[in-house]
Amino acid sequence: MDTANAQTTISTTAPAKPVMGAGSPAASLLSFAPFIAIMVLFYFLMVHPQSKEKKKREEMLGGIQRGDRVLTRGGIYGTVADIKEQVLILKISDNSKVEVDRGYVETVQKQS
């Protein structure tokens, strides 16, 4: 019986592991720090360059004027003959004109 009491005494007197500030706000903030760092990194590597590229594209499409040479997503080269808000009328040969949505323009070469 002495050994049973000794084992019980040892197991009940063993120190519990201290919890490192489980209730403190600093500990909860530190637990989210890697997640926050990953989100910031994701923003600067993915979202920010994409928004810069979108802004640059919108400026390019907004600056299209008559006489500019454009390439459409479909691979058609043409010269802007007329502009109707979101629709460009492209002259692709002497007798051919095509209407193209402004969003389908891939590149613009300004007239010289």
Cα–Cα–Cα angle for 2, 4, 8, nearest 5°?
115
Instruction: Say if residues 80 and 66 touch (Cβ distance below 8 Å).
Output: yes
pTM recorded for the entire structure: 0.59
Write out pLDDT tens, residues 50-91: 999 999 999 999 999 999 999 999 999 999 999 998 999 999
Helix (H) or strand (E) run with residue 82 in it: strand 77-84
Write out pLDDT tens, residues 30-52: 888 889 999 999 888 988 899 99
Domain boundaries, the chain: 24-62, 64-112
CATH class of this structure's domain 64-112: mainly beta
Predicted pLDDT at 17: 55
Helix (H) or strand (E) run with residue 58 in it: helix 48-62
CA distances for 80 relative to 17, 23, 61, angstroms: 75, 66, 12
State how far the Cα of 6 lies from the Cα of 21, in Å rounded to an integer. 33
Predicted pLDDT at 96: 95
Split at pLDDT 50, 70, 90, the class of 26 is: confident
Split at pLDDT 50, 70, 90, the class of 29 is: confident
State how far the Cα of 40 lies from the Cα of 42, in Å rounded to an integer. 5
Predicted pLDDT at 9: 52
